[in-house]
Amino acid sequence: MNINKQIEIDVSDAITERPFRFSVGEQCYSIYPPTLGKMQLLKNLYLCIDVDERLFNANMSRELLQVCRNQKDVVCQIVAYSTFRSKAELLNADKVICRARHFEQNLSVEDLATLLSLILSSDRTNEFIGYFGLDKERLKRQEISRIKGDGSSVTFGGRSIYGLLIDFACQRYGWTLDYILWGISLVNLNMLMSDAITTVYLSDEERKQLGMTGGGVINADDPANNELLRELIRE
C-alpha cells in the first residue's frame, strides 16, 4: 500500500480513536489510545522497564521479547491499563491488578511482546506532524516571533505540560481538566495544539525579513492561476 494512503488511514483511526482488539481465550479486550491521564499512569511503569536503548533500536523485537520475559508482571500491568478506558476503571487499582494477573497467567511472552510493541508505537504524533508539514510551520512561527519581538512585551509560563498543553486546551476549547485528562486521546490533543489555526498580521517590512513577497489575493477561479495554486499546496 502507498505510504501516504497508509498514513491517511492511520490519521483516520487516530481521529476516531479506534481501538485494537485482541482475545485471551474466549474473552475479548480492546487496547484504547492513551489519554493524557492514562499516559501519566503508564509513565512510572515505562520507567520500570529495563530496556537497553542501543539494542532496542537495533533489534526491537528481540529486546521486547527479553523485556517481556524478564519483567512479565510489569508488562502485564501496562497491557491491563491499556485495556481500560474510563477514569473510574483506570483509577481502580484492584481491577487493574486483577486483569494484569489474568494476562500474566494466560498470555505467552510472544503475545505480550506483540501487544507491548503496539502500545509503545501508538503515539503517532511526530509522524503526523511531519506528514502534514507542521514541523516546518513551527519553525516559521518561531522566525515570525523573533522578527515581531520588539522588546515591549514579556511572556511568562509555558515551562511545563500545565502551560504548554493543559492551559492551552482549557482556554481555547473551554474544556475541563477532567476531560483533557480522561476524555480525549493524547494524539488528538497534541494534533489539535500543533495544527491550531493562528493568524499573524505582518507589516511589509516584516514580510521582507521573512522572505515573503507579494501579499495580494489569488483568484482560484482563474485557470491561469492553477499552477501557482498547485505550487502553494505542495509547499
- Interacting residues of 92 by C-beta distance below 8 A, sequence separation 6+: none
- Write down the pLDDT at residue 223: 58
Q: In angstroms, what CA-CA distances link 6 with 2, 10, 147?
A: 6, 6, 38
- Write down the pLDDT at residue 203: 76
Q: How many CB atoms lie within 10 A of CB 210?
A: 15
The helix (run of H) or strand (run of E) holding residue 23 is strand 20-24
How confident is the model over 140-157, as pLDDT tens digits? Answer: 777 777 777 655 566 677
What is the model's pTM?
0.81
pLDDT at 175 over 70: yes
How confident is the model over 203-223, as pLDDT tens digits? Answer: 777 777 777 765 555 455 555
- Write down the pLDDT at residue 59: 73
